């Protein structure tokens, strides 16, 4: 959502007549209003993002309509802008919003556009993992100001985070088996359990009731209530053949109260259903292939893909048709590569879906691989500077940003997803560990571990726009705190 370039949008380009587009836009708006009940409950921020953004660009930097940024509007008078929003613009696609917005709401929209209404400032937080110091830096992602630092989370190397549905609580999965629940409003630890000796991430169930953690030592999965972190289930991950529990990797949540994960030693994929938490149901797929080391769920929630250690193929379980079992995909995808030593185990979380393509880091080769998400065949290999670690697509799917393992960990490359070429090579800092696009689309946040800095870049121009000091930053996560007075659901 960081750019909608100066070209007309796809919807705008439907045909010579503008009417299909206008009908689409007003229909979308009408549903927004109806869904939120009264006009009082209209979510102006969502309206601005989705409806105004459809024409004025997702970052409001201009598109079919002119830019609506703070800078371009600053010199205008408020009353004039309110009229502009409410009134007709004959001969242009800009609709009159008077039928849908009250004058008061239009005024509020103007304040949002001018940045004088700071509701959003309380809404989006950036949480940065400071792994060596076991702390999490909390930053207001709109005004780029540090709000505080939450300490005492233990070993946070490879730590990851998930959020409650209202955005209020974060669940941090530490490497040392620690599971910590943070209240993002008070910026305090509200509960913490040391639930195993060594763990590798986890997930919240889609219904928000449970948090599951994937464990290495001892293997298996443990499930807790999100409200209290009280233990709900302990799944030892022992295959039918018996023996010790497997290390569990690639744990994700699936619709319902389900979790999917892979058993490293056993080579199995398990589907755990906690609809009745007292009697967890497990479906096992024993033909997952040898040594699944990590997994990835496509953003549509449908395809669970596990990478196989030492095998040039991956395994796919279609969660809409799990009965069909796991199947091999991308067979021989590493063929013909002259392998370099692998200094950093690539995680499949480094994968990104852009449109109907998935872009992912090659293992042991300076390439980003492209596969088609329908046939799951390899369609391209994009040469890049080093061994890629994360490939992160810009929310509009048009570009992907790539970082690298040593010795190229001071470099970021930007790939044009359409032409599949590197269009930019950036040197913005040392020890680049992670990149994430802010949900408002105004910046890409980059952690420069060795410079103790978060670097902000413009997602469209790629220029550096700011820095924020942090202690050896690694993972960056965004939480959207929903306020109670918006008429939104949980
Ligand atoms: C269907 C496309 C479309 C949508 C949707 C749309 N606009 Fe516009 N908007 C335009 C166009 C085109 C113009 C230029 C109109 C003109 O030249 O008179 C414009 C002009 C404007 C202007 C005047 C800008 C200036 O610099 O003079 C404002 C303010 C504005 N829009 C606000 C909004 C807001 C707020 C929303 C969402 C509630 C919105 N627009 C939704 C297409 C759109």
Over residues 203-228, the mean pLDDT reads: 91
CB-CB contact of 174 with 193 (8 Å): no
> d(Cα 143, Cα 24) in Å, to the nearest integer?
33
Ligand 1 pocket mutation pick from 23, 42, 58, 66 by most atoms within 8 angstroms of CB? 66
pLDDT digits (tens, 9 = 90+) for 229-273: 999 999 998 888 888 888 898 899 998 899 999 999 899 999 999
User: 29 alpha carbon to ligand 1 midpoint, in Å?
Assistant: 14
> d(Cα 374, Cα 486) in Å, to the nearest integer?
38
Residue-level pLDDT at 28: 33
pLDDT greater than 50 at residue 382: yes
CB-CB contact of 490 with 208 (8 Å): yes
Domains of the chain from N-terminus onward: 19-117 (1.10.760.10)
> d(Cα 204, Cα 225) in Å, to the nearest integer?
10
Work out whether strand 378-383 and strand 367-372 pair parallel, antiparallel, or are unpaired.
antiparallel
**Among 194-198, 413-417, 425-429, whose mean pLDDT is lowest?**
194-198
pTM value?
A: 0.68
Q: Work out the pLDDT band at 139, boundaries 50, 70, 90.
A: very high
Residue 34 CB contacts under 8 Å (≥ 6 apart), including other chains: none
Q: Work out the pLDDT band at 12, boundaries 50, 70, 90.
A: very low
pLDDT digits (tens, 9 = 90+) for 56-66: 987 888 888 99
Residue-level pLDDT at 477: 95
- Of 263, 363, 250, 334, residue with least CA distance to 297: 250
User: Whose C-alpha lies nearest to ligand 1, atom 43?
Assistant: 94
User: 94 alpha carbon to ligand 1 midpoint, in Å?
Assistant: 5
> Please, what sign has the CA dihedral across residues 369, 389, 416, 443?
positive
Residue-level pLDDT at 288: 85
- Of 244, 245, 284, residue with least CA distance to 261: 284
- Long-range contacts formed by 337-342: CB under 8 A, 24+ apart: 337/362, 337/364, 337/365, 337/367, 338/365, 339/363, 339/364, 339/365, 340/364, 340/365, 340/366, 340/387, 342/387, 342/405
Query: How many Cα atoms within 13 Å fall on the side-chain side of residue 485?
Result: 2
Residue-level pLDDT at 4: 33
Secondary structure tally for the chain: helices H, strands E: 7, 32
* Length of the chain (residues): 490
Ligand 1 pocket mutation pick from 55, 57, 111 by most atoms within 8 angstroms of CB? 55
């Amino acid at each position: 959502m960081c750019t909608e370039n100066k070209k007309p949008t796809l919807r705008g380009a439907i045909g010579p007549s503008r009417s299909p587009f206008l009908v689409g836009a007003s229909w979308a708006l009408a549903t927004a209003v109806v869904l939120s009940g009264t006009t009082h409950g209209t979510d102006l921020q969502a309206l601005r993002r989705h409806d105004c953004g459809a024409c004025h660009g997702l970052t409001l930097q201009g598109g079919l309509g002119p830019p609506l940024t703070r800078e371009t509007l600053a010199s205008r008078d408020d009353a004039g802008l309110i009229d502009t929003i409410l009134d007709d613009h004959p001969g242009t696609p800009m609709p009159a919003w008077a039928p849908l917005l009250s004058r008061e709401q239009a005024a509020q929209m103007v304040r949002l556009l001018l940045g004088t209404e700071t509701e959003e400032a309380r809404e989006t937080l950036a949480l940065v993992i400071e792994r060596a110091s076991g702390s999490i830096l909390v930053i207001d992602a709109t005004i780029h100001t540090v709000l505080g630092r939450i300490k005492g989370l233990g070993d946070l190397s490879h730590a990851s985070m998930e959020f409650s549905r209202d955005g209020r609580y974060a669940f941090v999965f530490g490497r040392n088996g620690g599971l910590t629940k943070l209240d993002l409003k008070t910026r305090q630890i509200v509960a913490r359990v040391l639930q195993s000796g060594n763990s590798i991430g986890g997930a919240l169930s889609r219904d928000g009731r449970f948090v599951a953690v994937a464990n290495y030592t001892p293997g298996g999965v443990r499930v807790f209530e999100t409200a209290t972190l009280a233990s709900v289930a302990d799944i030892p991950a022992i295959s039918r053949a018996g023996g010790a529990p497997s290390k569990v990797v690639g744990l994700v949540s699936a619709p319902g109260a389900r979790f999917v994960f892979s058993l490293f030693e056993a080579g199995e994929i398990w589907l755990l259903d906690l609809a009745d938490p007292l009697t967890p149901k497990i479906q096992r797929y024993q033909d997952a292939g040898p040594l699944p080391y990590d997994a990835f769920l496509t953003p549509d929630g449908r395809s669970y893909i596990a990478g196989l250690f030492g095998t040039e193929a991956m395994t796919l379980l279609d969660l809409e048709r799990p009965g069909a079992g796991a199947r091999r995909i991308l067979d021989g995808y590493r063929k013909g590569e002259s392998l370099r030593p692998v200094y950093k185990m690539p995680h499949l979380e480094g994968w990104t879906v852009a449109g109907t393509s998935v872009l992912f880091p090659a293992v042991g080769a300076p390439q980003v691989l492209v596969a088609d998400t329908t046939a799951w065949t390899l369609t391209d290999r994009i040469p890049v500077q080093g061994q890629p670690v994360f490939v992160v697509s810009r929310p509009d799917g048009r570009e992907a940003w790539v970082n690298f393992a040593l010795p190229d960990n001071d470099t970021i490359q930007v790939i044009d997803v359409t032409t599949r070429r590197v269009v930019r090579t950036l040197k913005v800092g040392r020890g680049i560990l992670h990149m994430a696009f802010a949900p408002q689309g105004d910046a890409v946040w980059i952690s420069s571990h060795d410079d103790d800095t978060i670097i902000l870049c413009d997602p469209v121009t790629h220029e550096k726009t700011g820095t924020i000091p942090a202690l050896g930053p690694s993972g960056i996560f965004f939480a959207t705190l929903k306020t109670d007075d918006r008429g939104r659901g949980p």
